[in-house]
Amino acid sequence: MPSPTHHANADSRHLGFPHRHRIRHWVSRCPHLALFILLFALTACAPKPIEVADDSSFARNSFSTEIPFADPEMIRLHEANLTHEYIIGSGDLLTVDIWNRPKLSGEHVVGPYGNITLPMLGEFKIGGMNRKKAAKLITGLYKEFYEEPIATVKIIKYMNNRVYVLGRVANPGVIHFSGQATLLEALSLAGGLPTRDKTIFLSKCYIVRGKDQIIWIDLLKLLQRANLKLNISLANNDIIYIPESMDAAVFVMGEVENPGSYQIQTTGLSMLDAINLAGGPTEDAQTGKVRLIREMPEQEGVKTIDMDHMLATGNLTQNFLLLDNDIIYIPKKGVATFNYYLRQIDPFLRTFISATIINESLKD
């Protein structure tokens, strides 16, 4: 006849509590699980998330308003001060030709400080000028030695007209232009988006111009909607930075077919959009109690949303547009959700998610 100890051990195995030596074995083999259990113990006493009122920061504010994208009118203002003549600078290869004076003519590479060396004149600072202005000044200097000299300046290789394309492109680095450059040309020459992950797209970029200008461009409108009014002309030494599209993401967890992280497009991603991207609710989903969890100024806030009522009535006022790092959690029907959550979520995905969802689960 089995002993009471045997029954206790059988019960403990049934409930999922292994022997002490098995616990030590799990800790040694699964340090991430051990850390998650520790996080659960620490978050058990964490404050419950705030149930947010309808007139709160969960209002339907588009994600796109979080970034001050330049509209066509603003882009025209940024382009108004651009020069449309090439400015000579360091690295340019050019010729200075003095008519009928072959000994004075020749090729020059503009030095790092914008200087070239001219016969009889010595060092001449040509950097910062266009061709016409440089030719006029050189002509004036040679008038001291020759009667009616005529100087012309030709650029053979353009090296000063450059922009820097950095971030999420195939070939980040310096791009040189022979004339007026645009954002689309720069992105094309930088190789566009690397193809190792087809789920990542170009969604936004910013241009740093000088010391006091940052210009945000909505690449979805420019590239996917062909709004060429956003194809801004570039200035010399502009820095174009394309951040990772995954920098803005939401998490769809719980009873959905494909729980995980999903990107926010700058045109806005709603709660229903995100659930659809995650494959939709499972048969066991408690869709009458969908939780939308958002980081608030001091702790998390949560909205409990009756998705069944929303779809049945067509009232989409609670189909909130999502913000970066929002979490959508769909609990399971009729059972505590923590065990499901423990099996599904990576404990290193977001540390604060555990406290929020555990607290929400304990209320069920």
Give the separation between CA 269 and CA 322, rounded to whole angstroms.
6
Bridge partners (DSSP) of residue 218 are 204
Fold of 18-65+248-363: Outer membrane lipoprotein wza fold like (3.10.560)
Q: Supply the pLDDT for residue 57.
A: 56
Q: Which two tokens stand for residue 307?
A: 């998705």
Confidence at 355, pLDDT banded by 50, 70, 90: very low
Bridge partners (DSSP) of residue 295 are 300
- Residue of 124 and 364 predicted with greater confidence: 124
On the question of pLDDT at 155 being above 80, the answer is yes
Confidence at 61, pLDDT banded by 50, 70, 90: very low
- Residue of 344 and 330 predicted with greater confidence: 330
Q: Which two tokens stand for residue 13?
A: 């195995």
On the question of pLDDT at 95 being above 90, the answer is yes
Listed by start position, the domains of the chain span 18-65+248-363, 93-157, 161-246
Percent of the chain beyond pLDDT 70?
66
Q: Work out the mean pLDDT of the chain and round it to a whole number.
A: 75
Contact 313, 79 (CB under 8 A): no
Specify which of 53-67, 102-116, 205-219 reaches the highest per-range mean pLDDT. Answer: 102-116
Q: Which two tokens stand for residue 110?
A: 């503009």
| Long-range contacts of the stretch 166-174 (C-beta < 8 A, 24+) | 166/239, 166/240, 166/241, 166/242, 167/205, 167/240, 167/241, 167/242, 167/243, 167/244, 168/193, 168/194, 168/200, 168/202, 168/242, 168/243, 168/244, 168/245, 169/193, 169/194, 169/242, 170/194, 170/195
Quick: pLDDT tens for 305-315: 999 999 999 88
Helices (H), 69-208: 72-80, 131-142, 183-189
Q: Do domains 18-65+248-363 and 161-246 have the same CATH topology?
A: yes
Secondary structure E strands in 148-246: 151-157, 162-167, 173-176, 204-209, 213-218, 239-242
Query: Would you tell me which CATH number, out of the four given (3.30.390.10, 3.10.560.10, 1.20.120.530, 3.40.50.280), belongs to the domain 161-246?
Result: 3.10.560.10
Quick: pLDDT tens for 263-272: 776 556 889 9
- DSSP classification of residue 72: H
Give the separation between CA 261 and CA 278, rounded to whole angstroms.
9
Q: Supply the pLDDT for residue 72.
A: 92
Q: What is the CATH number of domain 93-157?
A: 3.30.1950.10
Quick: pLDDT tens for 224-280: 788 999 999 999 889 999 876 555 678 888 899 988 878 776 556 889 999 999 999
Whole-model pTM above 0.75?
no
Could you identify the residue written with the tokens 């988006």?
193
Q: Supply the pLDDT for residue 34.
A: 46
Q: Supply the pLDDT for residue 56.
A: 55
Q: Supply the pLDDT for residue 107.
A: 96
Lowest mean pLDDT among 35-49, 72-86, 172-186, 286-300: 35-49
On the question of pLDDT at 132 being above 90, the answer is yes
The 3-state DSSP class for residue 78 equals: helix
Confidence at 333, pLDDT banded by 50, 70, 90: confident
